[in-house]
Chain A
């Protein structure tokens, strides 16, 4: 049995309580909305692209619409990709997704979410912010939902 503390690691509880880059970004030139209709989680993601680099990034979750896993995951994601080239961010997304699908741990702090693997109903929560990022970088204006993205 996987212990709850493996899911709710300290770094996750910390980022849930004090999410980083938790702001609307007026300078954003890319935006995306993510939606998990099953549990009502919603995220607004703002990206300021400077050429090929993620110059700044921010996210918001409407009042009460982010569980600890989705909020902490989005928060850690913003830290991980800020200042990184788009290609590198997409590689991280792939590594993160692979980890949740049962693969090896993603690099750095993102490995904190390895415990989510043992909680299949929560994988969509962890992926939500990343899918929004992917949509923002693709510059597709459509909101992404955990139900429409086939590989969630």
Chain B
């Protein structure tokens, strides 16, 4: 287990008292808290290095550009990208996926083609493909899940028989915690002739990720779920694909030359970074990566899996609690329901004890329909959580049961 006492001291917000109790933050799948190191990096950037990037002829602008490009190198190393030119900074996973849909998708998907997603995908890995397919007259095929919350590999194989142009899936499900066999899924999709898009929003903060080992084509991540600022994120792609793709946003920075009626494009990745980028977000992301690398991603993963397992055991001792998702191959996400207490009520009651959880459909409405629930409560763990947090969670859930008269 990680040294959580030492880690907690790095997170100013965890000093906050909630109704006289310590803050028990268990909504990390929504967003993570930020360590002082990341917050300080933002302040330091604005105190000493701020200028616009890639265009200044003075030392300050060179420093800002160096900081921005050093962040790109850090991201490339963190996920073992094919090349640092294959790292496009975006606002996060959602924009990364929209970039692929809007650029690669619009250029390569046509009438009668198929795009495959899964029933456990987040709306951000469904809706961009719906929009693309509706625009192009293509078919969106949703792969079913098994009863225990895994991608149904039999249905996946059936979907691949349609020879889809593109297959998108999450590495880790935000609603179930399932860690999908991403390398295997990617291999099968490639064999069927598809390019693959991996939603890495929930894997990047929690697992050691190697996109070359996954052998996918596109990998999307969000910084804000991995200690970095909101609005930080990246699309990791095979450089050869990026070279062929048309631009996504037109504007400054992404061009080489502009004539009256046409333009030529900058080199990758800049071709996809029109406009002044969010430099401080990139700087903050690099600081977050440095923090995580010091801990070691294997240690992070082991810590969270241990917490999730303990939480599942402790919650399951409560009569009426139903935990969703597979028993193994899962990350630190624990979705559950409790008797007929609505998750929204559970979240309100837990909040009184300073326990922050998410309640709702978690931006996975197709999955919720398949689970046969309108909503679940979800506790999700990160590096600063410990067994005391699980105690607080379980105590508060029991309290909700007493208030609502759930039979014990």
Cα A109 to Cα B345 with chains together (Å):
21
Q: Which residue of B lies closest to A1 (CB)?
A: B19
Task: State which residues 237-281 of B face A: CB under 8 Å.
Answer: none
Residues of A within 8 A of B374 (CB): 40-42, 62-65
User: Which residues in chain A, 79-104, are within 8 Å of chain B measured between CB atoms?
Assistant: none
Instruction: Scan A94-138; emit 1 where CB is below 8 A from any B CB, else 0.
Output: 000000000000000000000000010110010000000000000
Determine whether B361 belongs to the interface, using a CB cutoff of 8 Å to chain A: yes
Contacts of A16 in B (CB 8 A): 404
* Chain A residues positioned under 8 Å from B343 (CB to CB): 39, 67
The answer to whether the Cβ of B348 comes within 8 Å of any Cβ in the partner chain is: yes
- In Å, the complex CA distance between A39 and B368 comes to 12
Partner of A13, one of B20, B349, B404: B404
Min distance, Cβ B307 to any Cβ of chain A, angstroms: 26
B399's nearest neighbour on chain A, judged by CB, is A4
Q: Are A40 and B348 in contact, CB atoms less than 8 angstroms apart?
A: no
Q: Please tell me if the beta carbons of B359 and A39 are within 8 angstroms of each other in the complex.
A: yes
B352 sits at the interface (CB 8 A): yes
Which B-chain residue is minimally distant from A125 (CB atoms)? B344
A69 at the interface (CB under 8 A from B): yes
Chain A residues lying within 8 Å of B64, measured Cβ to Cβ, are none
Please tell me if the beta carbons of B360 and A39 are within 8 angstroms of each other in the complex: yes
Q: Are B403 and A39 in contact, with the CB atoms below 8 A?
A: no
A5 to B372 alpha-carbon distance, docked (Å): 30
User: How far, in Å, is A115 (CB) from chain B's closest CB?
Assistant: 11
Q: Which chain B residues lie closer than 8 Å to A13 at the CB level?
A: 403-405
**B342 close to A38 (CB less than 8 A):** no
B19 lies within 8 A of A64 (CB): no
A62 — which chain B residues lie within 8 A by C-beta? Answer: 374
Task: Please measure, in the bound complex, the distance between the C-alpha atom of A41 and the C-alpha atom of B352, giving whole angstroms.
Answer: 22
Within 8 A of B (CB), among A33-48: 38-42
Please, which residues of chain A bring their CB within 8 A of the CB of B345? 8, 67-69
- Which residue of B has the minimal Cβ distance to A68? B345
Give the size range of A's interface with the partner.
Answer: 20 to 34
Question: Is A38 within 8 A of B348, CB to CB?
Answer: no
What sequence of 0s and 1s flags, for each residue 19-59 of chain B, a beta carbon within 8 Å of any chain A beta carbon? 11000000000000000000000000000000000000000
For residue A58, CB closer than 8 A to chain B, the reply is no
- Please, how many angstroms separate the alpha-carbon atoms of A42 and B368 in the complex? 14
Interface readout for A1-45 with B: 1 if CB under 8 Å, 0 if not? 100110110000100110000000000000000000011111000
Residues of chain A within 8 A (CB-CB) of B404 are 8, 13, 16, 68
Task: Tell me the smallest distance from the CB of A2 to a CB of chain B, in Å.
Answer: 9
Specify which chain A residues have a CB less than 8 angstroms from the CB of B403 in the assembled complex.
Answer: 4-5, 8, 13
Q: Which residue of the partner chain, among A7, A64, A66, contacts B348 with CB atoms under 8 Å?
A: A7
Query: Would you call B373 an interface residue if the criterion is a C-beta within 8 Å of the partner chain's C-beta atoms?
Result: yes
Q: How far is the CB of B371 from chain A (nearest CB, A)?
A: 10
Q: Does the CB pair A64–B349 fall under 8 Å?
A: no
One digit per residue, 1 when the CB lies within 8 angstroms of any chain A CB and 0 when it does not, for chain B 358-401 equals 01110001001000111100000000000000000000000000
B375 touches A40 (CB 8 A): yes
Bound-state CA distance A20–B268 (Å) is: 63
A62 to B368, CA, bound (A): 13
| Bound-complex Cα distance A1 to B20 (A) | 10
Shortest C-beta distance, A79 to chain B (Å), equals: 21
Of B340, B372, B375, the contact of A39 (CB 8 Å cutoff): B375
Are the C-beta atoms of B344 and A39 separated by less than 8 Å? yes
Residue of B nearest to A3 (CB): B352
Residue with the highest number of chain A CB atoms closer than 10 Å, among B343, B348, B405: B348
In the docked arrangement, what's the CA distance between A82 and B45, Å?
A: 63
* Chain A residue at minimal CB-CB distance from B19: A1
| Chain A residues near B360 (CB-CB < 8 A) | 38-40
Residues of B within 8 A of A38 (CB): 360
**Contact B344 A4, beta carbon cutoff 8 Å:** no
Question: What are 27 A-B contacts with C-beta separation under 8 Å?
Answer: A1-B20, A1-B352, A4-B349, A7-B348, A8-B345, A13-B403, A13-B404, A13-B405, A17-B405, A39-B344, A39-B360, A39-B375, A40-B360, A40-B375, A41-B344, A41-B374, A62-B374, A63-B372, A64-B342, A64-B373, A64-B374, A65-B374, A66-B342, A67-B343, A67-B345, A68-B341, A122-B348
Contacts A1-B352, A64-B373 supplied; 10 other A-B pairs, CB < 8 Å: A8-B345, A8-B404, A13-B404, A39-B344, A40-B361, A41-B374, A62-B374, A63-B374, A67-B344, A122-B348
**Leading 3 A-B pairs by shortest Cβ distance:** A67-B342, A65-B374, A67-B344
